[in-house]
Structures are given as structure tokens and as C-alpha cells.
Amino acid sequence: NKWRIVFPNNERHKKAWDHAARFYSGNRIQTTKYTWLTFLPQNLFEQFHRLANLYFLFLVILNWLPQVQVFHREITMLPLLAVLLAISVKDAIEDYRKYQFDKTINSSKTRVYDK
């Protein structure tokens, strides 16, 4: 078992701190789910795990076949696009609020006790 070692920020323990810092991550808090690059693929992946979204996607695909076409192709896409857009906007706003809160917590002052 590896124990986490916390050293005060002074020069006499700098070598030991450098050695221990290679094995442990920092104290930064991160509760956000997405980054700028992963938002769209990860959000769509999560949304299509819902059965209702898969059902509407199936209807859209089915309506593109000429033999089964009931409505105009674009009309069957509207409910699915509206739901996907609404949930994406909601998730983006929630994740941005988490990012702001994490930024506030990570930049708050802390006390370090040294003997």
C-alpha cells in the first residue's frame, strides 16, 4: 500500500516532495463531465442510450426508405432533433456551472500548518 505524503512548502523537504509528487495527482477538484472536444460525441452517446431516442432514430431511418415513407423525411427528423438539442443545451449549461464551481473551489485559499 502506498501512503500519501504531504510536505510543507519549504526547501529542506523539496527533494522528498519531488520524489513523492511523481506518484500522486494534485488536489485539484474536477466534477465536469465534458471537455470542448468530447462534448458532442459523449453527449450523443449518452443520449442514444435512452430507448425513446433510439425509437425516434429508428423512425427517421425507416422513413428514409421509399417503400415505407409516410411523412416527409425532414418532418420525422424534427422531434428527434428538438429533443437532442434541448438535452444538449441543458447538459452544456449544467457542465459549465460545474466548471465555474470547480474553478471557485480550486482557487480558494487554504491553510498549511507547519511545525
pLDDT score recorded for residue 68: 75
Dump pLDDT digits (tens) for 25-82: 677 788 899 999 999 999 999 999 999 999 989 988 888 888 877 777 788 889 899 9
Answering whether pTM is above 0.95, one says no
DSSP the chain: -PPP----SSGGGHHHHHHHHTTS--S--------TTTHHHHHHHHHTTSHHHHHHHHHHHHHTSTTT--S-HHHHHHHHHHHHHHHHHHHHHHHHHHHHHHHHHHTS-------
pLDDT score recorded for residue 2: 57
Sorted by where each begins, the domain ranges of the chain are 31-107
